[in-house]
Structure 1
């Protein structure tokens, strides 16, 4: 531990700075000036008049917001294009079934139990990845099956689950419009992301 932060007050103050820095890093923009951020924080805390006229601040905020939006739109277009190419290539595989909605699946294990209706609650194990193979969520990794209503999940899952007999394990290839769409899901799933799930239907509750 640094010898600069030996008192409770110093440690708490550093902790506040860390939290602010982490929040800023998660919502940053290219070219951000940390020294200017520190000056603004110091001036506000000390009650010093703003060194930049409010009109100029508003212009700067608007410009940066527009830049961020353009970056996000470019990233979304790239993700959508990559997903479309992936799914187009995937449907050429003989083992893959493509439904009218655009949902694709392949059967890894075929179960023999009942198929859950829309109003059912099910227990599943799942492993979710992006088309890159990077994992974003997995009950398998947590070693804890998940329970949820068939109607309470993304559209791709809702459609697939009603086709799956209990005991089945399917691999789902979900286009973005049947997943989290143009909005994504928080920080974990970007907009327009096609997703891949291995889903094992354990039981209907």
Structure 2
């Protein structure tokens, strides 16, 4: 499979504010010195370029913990995978907060997802993940009610008058927007472990100032 070079997508104003106000960027060494070594190992030049580009753009960004996925990656950091079969197309996206049963990866088309032994893309890009965490921060700050729904009970979501939130670029995970509410539906762990009971939705209701 020929990997696709990740596009430089822009964050929304909310996403940019979240990165500047709620995240910390720590100094991270350049991976350029590893370029020659990776090429000697037979890793395609396009794959090497993708990892180096990710590290230049996002390396060292420390994110606040997400509600799900054990807090998500603590710090974004691009690196090659040791597993030979996944060196082309996938690479590491960040450092975990705790010991976990899966890794956070960037996929062949730039998707952000988890690998439980089974690859599950959560968002179509790393920007989508950042927008999702930023939206959760916004929703939890302004919502007057928060409900958590699990398992088969989420089959009735979202209501008909809700629309998808495009900036999160949702795949296994998605956000939906209603008149004064937001709904986050997370199915990544359920798909990765083949456990439908792990599906979870969070409904943020009564958002002051609307759901924007």
Relative to the length of structure 1, the TM-score reads 0.26
* Structure whose residues are more often helix by fraction: 1
Relative to the length of structure 2, the TM-score reads 0.26
Which is higher, the Rg of structure 1 or of structure 2?
Answer: 1
Higher relative contact order (CA 8 A, sep 6+): 1
